[in-house]
Amino acid sequence: MATVTALRERPRGRVDVELDGAPWRTLPADAVVRTGLLVGRALDRTAARTLARELRRSSALTRATRALTHRDRSQAAVRHRLTAAGVPGRAADDAIATLGRSGILDDARAAAARAQGLAGRGYGDAAVRLTLEGEGFAGEALEAALAGLMPEHERAGAFLAAGRSQRWLAARGFEVASDT
């Protein structure tokens, strides 16, 4: 059974771990802390299992956070990315729950922002709904996002006044009257 003989802090939240006087691995600091690795502690089977679980959790959280780097996504979209990357279900659930508790992953906020962005770029309610559903938004978050938009007929009027045609509006998911 190996014993931890040194822990050395590295840049970017990493820790070099030394076992029995020899370099072993560089690990995420959060996994080292949650495992309770200390100098002089034996790395027995129980500690090794705990470390493996914490490494999976750390990796899942890093991947989930990375998925949100450029824009907000739905919980379903983040879960899909984690599953596609081979992250185990429990670790994915923990990462999503952690990001949800922190407020970083918020379906209602993300759906509202995405809906506003699509509406501002000239999409009607049907197209906005279809896009949001395709991105994994559902239920109250989806309905609240659509309810928060300016009424579709007002947006359509503004686009018509700006020189857009009925055909353009119909192609962008607006409900267009057939007699106009």
Are 5 and 17 found together in one domain? yes
Give the per-residue pLDDT at 175.
Answer: 86
CA distance 14 to 164: 55
The answer to whether residue 50 sits within a structural domain is no
| In contact, 17 and 54? CB cutoff 8 Å | no
Are 98 and 116 found together in one domain? no
Give the per-residue pLDDT at 180.
Answer: 46
Give the per-residue pLDDT at 178.
Answer: 60
The answer to whether residue 123 sits within a structural domain is yes
Instruction: Give pLDDT tens digits along the chain (180 positions).
Output: 899 999 999 999 999 999 999 999 999 999 999 999 999 999 999 999 999 999 999 999 999 999 999 999 999 999 999 999 999 999 999 999 999 999 999 999 999 999 999 999 999 999 999 999 999 999 999 999 999 999 999 999 999 999 999 999 999 999 876 654
The answer to whether residue 54 sits within a structural domain is no
Give the per-residue pLDDT at 57.
Answer: 93
| In contact, 124 and 169? CB cutoff 8 Å | yes
The answer to whether residue 51 sits within a structural domain is no
Are 116 and 162 found together in one domain? yes
Give the per-residue pLDDT at 179.
Answer: 52
Q: What angle do CA 48, 50, 54 make, to 5 degrees?
A: 115
Give the per-residue pLDDT at 32.
Answer: 95
The answer to whether residue 116 sits within a structural domain is yes
> Looking at the 3D structure of the chain, how many domains does it have?
3
